[in-house]
């Protein structure tokens, strides 16, 4: 029996030490462009509220500067500040030819995106996972010769408001997860950014669009349930930036560079202005100091920096694509060149410390705690958390898992399986109990067999004795 006890102890130590591996978890990253952190405060949002009860809600998150669409989204995908991943603007530009490409054509300029930083799609695929993306900025490009496995790029002049298309895209993504066993998908919706620009963040139109977003959040979760994904799929909702009301109708003195005394566009080789509250200038050789001194302090709500003197919290200096002079305005102001050409009621692109620039954050799924509200964190930290959930090794990034790990309930192995140590203990004890039961049954069975054999042997010996006596009797006669 000693060997049996030793074997039991060996088996118990093995079971308790081995991880219990559940089915690999999946992850959906959803961005609602321009969804400010407080947009749910003046609108009834039952689905967002329910998601907060079922998962995690952050007070707000801080995006990278420049707080505009493509750069901020690429930070979500790479975990890098904009100066490090190099997608510094929505527009591709060439300072030699002065050619500028708007947002949509820039999506197809590979070298603009493929600048040394790999989005999470490519990293996941290189480590054996399957990834997809729908309309997310950067989807159309390739990275070191690779593209995201499943992708949908929106057509030109796409209607970002179409709620039916939102539902169709949602069902398509859930189908990818279920039928093609994808592990990670990024899904982009272009609102409420559009209505925030056109009508302003305090408009009834924006409130109506937030209701549409909330309905879509409910639809996403329902679709996940219909596709049998609830127990495996983690869903993260966030955005690239917020939105701020622009001062109009003579309310303020507008920032128009042409009207600043001493400033001349002829002193510039290239400029990016007229695109909201931010801008960049490339002075001609020998003109940098003149342009800088002319603009510095020229307007009480205009900030002017040489790029090497940019505030450290902006992380917007150490890249060759960033022009020598960087401009940005205070909330409510925009920067115009020769004359005002911007008529939006809402804008973004301001300092990322401004509260109006903060996006929202929700997360739900088997990896996340329930009914947990957490404090603010930078969106650069979402990338390492996503890699952790997927169980992949992240690329070099500027985020830290320490900023988000308190939201998670499980530890994740490098292979994508999830280890729940409490469950391990119960499973281990159950396995030991089962093993002991098997040993007990085997021992009893062995004893019964031995006893049966002994009885048979005794009966056999008795029969032989009787026969010997009979033979003896016959011989004596």
- For every residue of 410-422, DSSP letters joined together read -EE-TTS-EE-HH
**CA dist., res. 133 & res. 140, Å (int):** 9
**CA dist., res. 129 & res. 149, Å (int):** 10
Quote the tokens at residue 275. Answer: 């695109």
Quote the tokens at residue 106. Answer: 């820039």
Q: How many CB atoms lie within 10 A of CB 287?
A: 17
Of 115, 177, 112, residue with least CA distance to 150? 177
**CA dist., res. 362 & res. 154, Å (int):** 25
Residue 306: partners with Cβ closer than 8 Å, 6 or more residues away: 288, 292, 324, 325, 326
SS3 content of the chain, % helix, strand, coil (to 5): 40, 20, 40
69 in active site: yes
**CA dist., res. 342 & res. 276, Å (int):** 7
User: What's the alpha-carbon Rg for the chain, to the nearest Å?
Assistant: 33
Reported as type and span, the H/E element at residue 101 is strand 99-101
Quote the tokens at residue 445. Answer: 């069975």
Quote the tokens at residue 388. Answer: 């952790």
Reported as type and span, the H/E element at residue 426 is helix 421-476
- For every residue of 433-471, DSSP letters joined together read HHHHHHHHHHHHHHHHHHHHHHHHHHHHHHHHHHHHHHH
Is there a contact between 189 and 165 (Cβ–Cβ < 8 Å)? no
Quote the tokens at residue 462. Answer: 């008795």
Of the residues 45, 62, 67, 69, which is catalytic?
69
**CA dist., res. 10 & res. 90, Å (int):** 61
- Known catalytic residues are 69
């Amino acid at each position: 029996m000693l060997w049996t006890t030793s074997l039991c102890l060996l088996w118990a130590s093995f079971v308790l030490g081995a991880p219990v591996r559940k089915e690999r978890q999946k992850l959906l990253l959803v961005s609602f462009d321009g969804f400010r952190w407080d947009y749910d405060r003046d609108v009834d949002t039952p689905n967002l509220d329910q998601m907060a009860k079922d998962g995690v809600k952050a007070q707000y998150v801080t995006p990278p500067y420049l707080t505009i669409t493509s750069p901020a989204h690429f930070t979500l995908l790479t975990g890098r500040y904009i100066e490090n991943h190099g997608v510094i603007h929505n527009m591709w530009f060439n300072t030699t030819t002065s050619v500028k490409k708007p947002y949509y054509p820039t999506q197809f300029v590979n070298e603009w995106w493929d600048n040394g930083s790999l989005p999470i799609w490519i990293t996941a695929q290189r480590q054996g996972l399957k990834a997809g993306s729908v309309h997310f900025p950067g989807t159309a490009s390739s990275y070191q010769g690779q593209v995201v496995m499943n992708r949908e790029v929106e057509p030109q002049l796409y209607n970002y408001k179409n709620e039916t298309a939102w539902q169709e895209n949602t069902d398509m993504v859930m189908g990818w997860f279920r039928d093609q066993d994808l592990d990670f998908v990024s899904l982009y919706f272009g609102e409420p950014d559009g209505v925030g620009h056109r009508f302003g963040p305090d408009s009834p139109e924006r409130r109506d669009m937030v209701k549409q977003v909330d309905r879509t959040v409910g639809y996403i979760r329902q679709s996940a349930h219909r596709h049998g994904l609830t127990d495996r799929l983690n869903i993260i909702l966030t955005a690239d930036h917020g939105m701020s009301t622009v001062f109009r109708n003579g309310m303020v003195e507008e920032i128009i560079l042409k009207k600043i005394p001493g400033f001349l566009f002829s002193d510039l080789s290239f400029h990016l202005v007229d695109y909201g509250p931010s801008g960049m200038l490339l002075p001609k050789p020998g003109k940098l100091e003149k342009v800088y001194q002319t603009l510095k302090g020229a307007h009480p709500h205009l900030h002017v920096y040489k790029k090497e003197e940019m505030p450290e919290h902006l992380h917007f200096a150490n890249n060759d694509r960033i022009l020598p002079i960087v401009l940005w305005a205070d909330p409510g102001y925009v920067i115009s060149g020769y004359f005002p050409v911007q008529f939006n009621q809402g804008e973004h692109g301001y300092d990322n410390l401004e509260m109006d620039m903060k996006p929202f954050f929700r997360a739900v799924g088997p990896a996340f705690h329930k009914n947990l509200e957490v404090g603010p964190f930078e969106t650069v930290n979402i990338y390492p958390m996503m890699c952790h959930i997927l169980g992949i090794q992240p690329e070099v990034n500027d985020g830290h898992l320490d900023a988000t790990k308190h939201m998670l309930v499980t530890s994740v192995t490098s292979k994508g399986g999830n280890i729940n140590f409490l469950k391990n203990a119960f499973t281990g004890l159950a396995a030991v109990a089962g093993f002991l039961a098997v040993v007990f049954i085997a021992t009893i069975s062995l004893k019964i067999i031995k006893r049966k054999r002994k009885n048979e042997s005794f009966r056999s010996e008795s029969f032989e004795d009787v026969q010997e006596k009979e033979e003896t009797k016959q011989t004596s006669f």
